[in-house]
Amino acid sequence: MNDNLEQMLIQDENLTDRSPFLKLRRWQWWLLVAINILFLIAGQAAAVLLGRFYYDQGGNSTWMATFVQTAGFPILCIPLIFLHPYQKLETSTSSTYPSIKIVALLYFVLGLLVAGDNMLYSVGLLYLSASTYSLICATQLAFNAVFSYLLNSQKLTALILNSVVILSLSAALIAVNEDSDGPSGVSKGKYLVGFICTLGASALYSLLLSLMQLSFQKVLRKETYNVVLEMQIYTSLVATCVSTAGLFGSGEWKGLQDEMKGFKSGRVSYVLTLVWAAVSWQVCAVGVVGLIFAVSSLFSNVISTLSLAITPLAALLVFHDEMNGVKVIAMLLALCGFCSYIYQNYLDDTKARKSESQSHTDDVIQESHHV
């Protein structure tokens, strides 16, 4: 009996119920989180740089910039196909699954919100400089802290608040370090439009993260990575259809050929810029949704803001931008804020594991006494 008890405790100790994908070992769960962080940071940095490159080289279609943010969703079908044979092995928190109508309605509503959010970001990036854009985007942490508290019962500990403040300060330092005016030729009125759109997009993005997490917990109630990919695919499909309708409905499609001809770096560069921007956004999306499901929407937003601080480093390597002391300090602050939040999640993970292990030990001992 003691040998069986010891074996059950060892098995429970090697597994973590916090994993949203499979019954992973603790180090596997952290590795999965690290991979999603890499996807989010690399994907977002590349997508923002390519978006700025598109506008700088002569692109001016906001609907096209919106379209490429979700048009690459078929790429996600590849991992979905590979994961399909293991779908039956994955665990679920509920034996019931919502009807197709409810799931379709959920994906449709989220897809509409994604399309609107992408459009707002595209307009903001068109009328604002990169520095001002980054500063306003940093406000999404404040919005997300509120939405996570209201919708996801997220506790705002001292370490989380410290992380939010430091990361926001980091993005602010990068913003004020450069010219905070709009690009050349942008009027005050358009600058105000860009400011409002970016602020609204930051709030809507934060709401989306919390709604996605709430959907996993209350509606879908099925903890598999297939569900994560399916949500991303179907919401992106809806958003892509909306942006395509907007592209043709607004008449911007008529000027795409002239836009390609007038692209400063050439037609091939024009096509490659849009294609790789679409791929980068999907890589980022996988990281975002993965972190929402594995940890929380607030954590996903913290990593997203960390990427805003790292983007200047990517610009230094790609576009040979100047790297001064203020940018170095801003990135160091971002790393400190990131470590603060990671440490809070480590404490939460350790506490949860101890509580689960103790509860399981008590149950096993009680069961052994009955035997």
CA distance 333 to 356: 35
**Over 50: is that where the pLDDT of 6 sits?**
no
pLDDT digits (tens, 9 = 90+) for 220-233: 776 566 777 788 89
Q: How far apart are CA 40 and CA 322, in angstroms?
A: 24
Lowest mean pLDDT among 204-208, 251-255, 273-277, 286-290: 286-290
What are the structure tokens assigned to 329, written together? 């300090």
pLDDT(371) > 60: no
CA dist 86 and 59 (Å) reads 43
107: pLDDT strictly greater than 90: yes
Using a pLDDT cut of 70, give the percent of the chain over it.
69
Check pLDDT > 90 for residue 269: yes
Give the CA distances from residue 89 to residues 15, 21, 225, 233, 293, in Å, rounded to whole numbers and listed in that order: 15, 10, 11, 22, 18
Whether 60 shows a pLDDT value over 80: the answer reads: yes
Instruction: Compute the chain's Rg from CA coordinates.
Output: 22
Residue 244 pLDDT more than 90? Answer: yes
- Residue 12: its pLDDT value, please? 36
CA distance 337 to 160: 9
- In this predicted structure, the answer to whether residue 335 has a pLDDT above a threshold of 80 is no
**Euclidean distance between CA atoms 212 and 152, whole angstroms:** 10
Residues 6+ apart with CB under 8 A from 190: 127, 182
Mean pLDDT, the chain, whole residue set: 76
pLDDT tens figures, 280-322 = 998 888 887 778 777 766 677 678 777 766 776 676 676 565 6
Average pLDDT over residues 96-106: 84
Q: Round to whole Å and give the CA distance between 322 and 320.
A: 7
| Per-residue pLDDT tens over the stretch 162-173 | 877 876 777 667
Q: What is the pLDDT of residue 140?
A: 75
Token pair 């679920």 in the structure block, residue: 92
The angle at the Cα of 267, spanning 261 to 271, to the nearest 5 degrees, equals 125
Does the pLDDT of residue 59 top 80, yes or no?
A: yes
Region 35-53 average pLDDT: 87
**pLDDT confidence tier of residue 196, bands split at 50, 70 and 90:** confident
pLDDT value at residue 11 = 36
Amino acid 18: pLDDT:
40
| DSSP single-letter state for residue 255 | G
Which amino acid makes up residue 228? Answer: V
Domain residues of the chain, as ranges? 47-84+96-347
Top pLDDT among 12 and 342 is at 342
- Whether the CA torsion 59, 61, 65, 70 is positive or negative: it is negative
Q: Which of 360, 371, 369, 366 has the alpha carbon at shortest distance from 8?
A: 360
Close Cβ partners of 7 (under 8 Å, ≥ 6 residues apart): none
Tokens for 279, please give them: 């791929």
Residue 243 has pLDDT above 80, yes or no: yes
Contact between 232 and 285 under an 8 Å Cβ cutoff? The reply is yes
pLDDT of 95 over the 60 cut: no
Q: If you average pLDDT over each of 16-30, 36-50, 207-221, which comes out highest?
A: 36-50
CA distance linking residue 133 with residue 220, whole number of Å: 34
pLDDT band, residue 8 (cuts 50/70/90)? very low
Q: Indicate if the pLDDT at residue 362 is higher than 90.
A: no
Interval 114-160: pLDDT, tens: 999 999 999 988 887 766 677 677 677 777 777 877 887 777 778 77
Most confident among 29-43, 129-143, 210-224 (mean pLDDT): 29-43
